[in-house]
Amino acid sequence: MLNVRRLLLLTEATERGSLTAAAEALGMTTSAASQQMSLLEQEAGQPLIERLPRGIRPTPAGAALAERGQRIRRELRAAQADLDSFTALDQGTLRLGSFPTASASLLPLALTRFRRRHAGVRIEVRAGVLAELREMLHTGEVEQALLWDYEWNRLDDPALTLTHLLDDPTVLVVPADSPLRARPSVRLGDLADQEWIIRADNHPVADVLRRSCRQAGFEPRIAYSSHDYQEAQAMVAAGLGIALAPRLALTSRRSDVRLLPFASDVPAPTRRILLTRAQARPATPPAQAMARVLRTVAQRFAAPGLHRAQLGAVRRG
């Protein structure tokens, strides 16, 4: 059985390129670190580092062990954070995961409200795509995460507990002077002759556009692939094309674009916004408090009045 402390020493030395630097980081003397490294190599049955005139270099076996050591270190830090969070509601660290749309809309308001009530809790937010956030939940790197799904890719993971916060409908983004504004609602099937601004092909909204248009009987003609929603809005405002976007992604709407709803009998896809945590880990008091705040904030963003304000005010502009 490998000694975990020695494995962490190897990890630090590999990352820092120096046994001396690793010893300092772990509060050890260089001679003690050298002795512990020799013991680890005895446990491994082979050399793990090459001692160079300036620093060290891991052997292939050492590099493989150091990579595992990184994951073990992350788990140990997450375990310590879990213990710290259990001590009291107003102490410890709450680790959250989020994706860009949520981080730019409902999460800031939730964080502001939470800090007013629980100023003693330190909050860390990690951003990522869907797969990255799920991995963070499974490894304990985050305690809670905001995720999303659509009807065709429901988040079906028995290891996660899901709380449905709100539905985020897809809307049409058009230039401020678009003739489409005169319509009370829009059908995708009537937009076959339009040019489209699309998110990069690996983005979920690109999949939403292609699926929706194909279901309406046509293949979208792509005029531009954007990297974020502000860029997409700018291209729409310039008249290069129109775009689909989730409503939450447009809380910071440009004044020279307008948002149009789709006809209720043939709506565009709606995504669910979810608060998730690992089933095997009981929610800490700070996590429970944050869940309550997020549910309250989500009600505000899901309110019909907000939707009407976003869609209706734009027609008066």
pLDDT given for residue 284 in this prediction? 86
208 and 185 within one domain: yes
Q: What average pLDDT does range 220-244 have in this prediction? A: 94
**Residue 129 neighbours by CB under 8 Å, 6+ apart:** 99
Going by pLDDT thresholds of 50, 70 and 90, the confidence category of residue 79 is: confident
pLDDT value, residue 305: 46
What is the span of the domain harbouring residue 126? 92-166+271-307
For 281-305, write each residue's pLDDT tens digit.
888 888 999 999 999 999 998 865 4
CATH number at residue 26: 1.10.10.10
Strands of 15-67 (E only): list them.
49-51, 56-58
CB 146 within 8 A of CB 225: no
Residue 150, pLDDT above cutoff 60: yes
**269: DSSP letter:** P
User: What is the mean predicted confidence (pLDDT) over 44-62?
Assistant: 93
* Dihedral sign, Cα of residue 264, residue 168, residue 271, residue 261: positive
Residues 16 and 68 in one domain: yes
Tell me the CA distances in angstroms from 88 to 85, 121, 203, 287, one per residue in order: 7, 9, 40, 11
- CATH classification of the domain holding 193: 3.40.190.10
Q: Going by DSSP bridges, is the β-strand pair 270-278/144-149 parallel, antiparallel, or unpaired?
A: antiparallel
Give dist(CA 303, CA 293) in Å, integer. 16
Which amino acid, one-letter code, is at 45? Answer: G
* Residues 107 and 119 placed together within one structural domain of the fold: yes
pLDDT at 282: 86
pTM (predicted TM-score): 0.67
Arithmetic mean of pLDDT, 119-129: 92
Pairing of the two strands 56-58 and 49-51: antiparallel
Give the pLDDT band of residue 91 (cuts 50, 70, 90). low
How many domains would you assign to the chain? Answer: 3
